[in-house]
């Protein structure tokens, strides 16, 4: 051996390659890293403000394979609450508390390098918990995604004073320039732009996040038993509520504190679903355009931008709820939208409940 590092590498190989990286194996793919390995994965910065924590929560959901991430945020006095719902791989119930321990990670061999540094050293959630009044996994299981709530005291962990202004996005040399206060909205927009094509991010009030999950996350097949619900994503559970009381109860379990009155408002469509942050700021590849149809150059049809089509489909799902509640039917698939010359044709495939 030429030096001590070669000797350590040799011994580590004899131990299966992970002996000097892993302190404890927790099961279900989770491990506690050794301090030296966690330090090697040091990120560019620690959590110094609420916006830093939001980025870490978004990265955590992305690395869990989430395609949709819903952020609900609210503030009362000095307490800022951040709710994050995702449809990623989820966390086993036995590890709901331990994921906030130092150096606990499921990313032993899948560290993620992005514009914010290295992610996967098992310190992000620990740093968040250390800076938070409370941090907890509310609901999660393998294959069902995650509902997480974190509460910060902004008198000890600061946030930007302006939390109401959305950023402006301009295009320059084929890239995006984001301007505006570095608040929670901008944090979500910058992440959404960086990860466009990987996952969609929605941010608003907790009630808006709930309304968006109810509109956007609908099981493709009807549930035939209560046990079947255990297999659907947590983000889809708001769509299962039959009335305001049930919706309010499901919301409470997910950390969204709403009354039955506000649940009624969501059911009546008075709380419109959010648009993903990239579409919200106009950071898209192009709006809908007219193109010649197959029947001839004189007949022109409108082609929809994919974000606008998704928004329109969400509105159609909301409209179909009137029939679901009155005639005991349920959508079997997303509504279809077909554009023709001077015409928009929509279709609904549904199943009848027994």
Say whether pTM exceeds 0.85.
no
Same domain (yes/no): 52, 144: yes
Contact 280, 311 (CB under 8 A): no
- Whether 134 is in a domain gets the answer yes
Instruction: State the Cα angle at 345 between 342 and 347, rounded to 5°.
Output: 175
**One domain for residues 318 and 176:** no
Calculate the alpha carbon distances from 200 to 191, 260, 332 in Å. 10, 29, 23
Residue 136 has pLDDT above 70, yes or no: yes
pLDDT for the residue 75 = 97
Last residue of a domain, one of 191, 208, 225: 208
Computed over every residue of the chain, the mean pLDDT equals 82
Please say whether the beta carbons of 299 and 306 come within 8 A.
Answer: no
The answer to whether 59 and 107 are in contact (CB under 8 A) is no
Domain final residue, candidates 172, 189, 208: 208
Rounded distance between C-alpha atoms, residue 90 and residue 144, angstroms: 5
Out of 157, 173, 208, a domain closes at: 208
**136 in any annotated domain:** yes
pLDDT by residue (tens digit) across 97-122?
A: 999 887 787 766 666 667 776 665 56
The pLDDT tens digits of the residues spanning 197-242 come to 899 999 999 999 999 999 999 887 666 556 667 789 999 999 999 9
Residue 224, domain member (yes or no): no
- Residues 198, 54 within the same domain: yes
* CATH code, 72: 3.30.565.10
Identify whether the C-beta of residue 310 lies closer than 8 Å to the C-beta of residue 202.
no
Using alpha carbons, select from 189, 127, 177, 160 the residue that is nearest to residue 51.
Answer: 160
* pLDDT computed for residue 101 by the predictor: 85
- pLDDT tier, 39 (very low <50, low <70, confident <90, very high otherwise): low
Residue 174 and residue 306 in one domain: no
Same domain for 204 and 344, yes or no, is no
The verdict on 56 and 191 lying in the same domain is: yes
Q: Kindly state the tokens that stand for 69.
A: 């991430």
pLDDT in tens, 264-275: 999 998 999 999
How many other CB atoms sit within 10 Å of the CB of residue 176?
Answer: 17
Q: Answer yes or no: are the C-beta atoms of 336 and 320 closer than 8 Å.
A: no
Q: What local confidence, expressed as pLDDT, does residue 321 receive?
A: 83
CA dist 247 → 17, 222, 254 (Å): 49, 17, 11
What are 31's strand-pairing partners? 25, 105
Give the count of domains, the chain: 2
Residue 173 is part of which domain span? Answer: 39-208
- pLDDT category at 287 given cuts 50, 70, 90 is very low
* Sign of torsion over alpha carbons 305, 269, 236, 242: negative
Q: Are 61 and 193 found together in one domain?
A: yes
The answer to whether the CB of 114 falls within 8 A of the CB of 59 is yes
């Amino acid at each position: 051996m030429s030096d001590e590092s070669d000797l350590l590498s040799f011994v580590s190989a004899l131990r299966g390659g992970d002996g000097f990286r892993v302190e404890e194996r927790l099961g279900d793919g989770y491990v506690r890293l050794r301090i030296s390995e966690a330090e090697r994965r040091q990120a560019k910065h620690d959590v110094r403000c609420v916006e830093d924590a939001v980025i870490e929560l978004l990265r955590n959901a992305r690395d869990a394979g989430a395609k949709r991430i819903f952020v609900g945020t609210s503030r009362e006095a000095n307490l800022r609450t951040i709710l994050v719902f995702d449809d990623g791989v989820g966390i086993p119930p036995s590890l709901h508390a331990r994921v906030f321990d130092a150096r606990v990670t499921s990313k032993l061999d899948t560290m993620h390098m992005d514009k914010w540094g290295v992610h996967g050293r098992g310190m992000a959630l620990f740093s968040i918990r250390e800076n938070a009044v409370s941090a907890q996994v509310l609901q999660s299981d393998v294959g069902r995604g995650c509902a997480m709530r974190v509460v910060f005291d902004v008198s000890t962990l600061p946030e930007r004073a302006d939390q109401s202004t959305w950023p402006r996005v301009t295009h320059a040399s084929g890239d995006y320039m984001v301007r505006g206060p570095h608040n929670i909205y901008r944090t979500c927009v910058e992440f959404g732009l960086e990860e466009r094509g990987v996952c969609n991010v929605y941010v608003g009030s907790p009630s808006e996040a709930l309304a968006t999950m109810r509109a956007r996350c609908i099981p493709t097949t009807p549930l035939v038993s209560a046990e079947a619900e255990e297999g659907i994503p947590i983000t889809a559970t708001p769509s299962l509520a039959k009335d305001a009381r049930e919706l309010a109860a499901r919301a409470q379990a997910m950390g969204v504190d709403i009354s039955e009155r506000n649940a009624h408002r969501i059911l009546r469509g008075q709380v419109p679903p959010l648009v993903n942050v990239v579409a919200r700021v106009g950071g898209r590849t192009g709006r809908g355009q007219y193109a010649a149809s197959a029947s001839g150059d004189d007949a022109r049809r409108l082609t929809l931008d994919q974000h606008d089509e998704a928004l329109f489909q969400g509105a159609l799902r909301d409209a179909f709820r009137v029939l679901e509640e009155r005639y005991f039917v349920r959508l079997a698939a997303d509504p279809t939208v077909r554009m023709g010359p001077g015409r928009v044709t929509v279709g609904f495939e549904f199943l009848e409940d027994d």
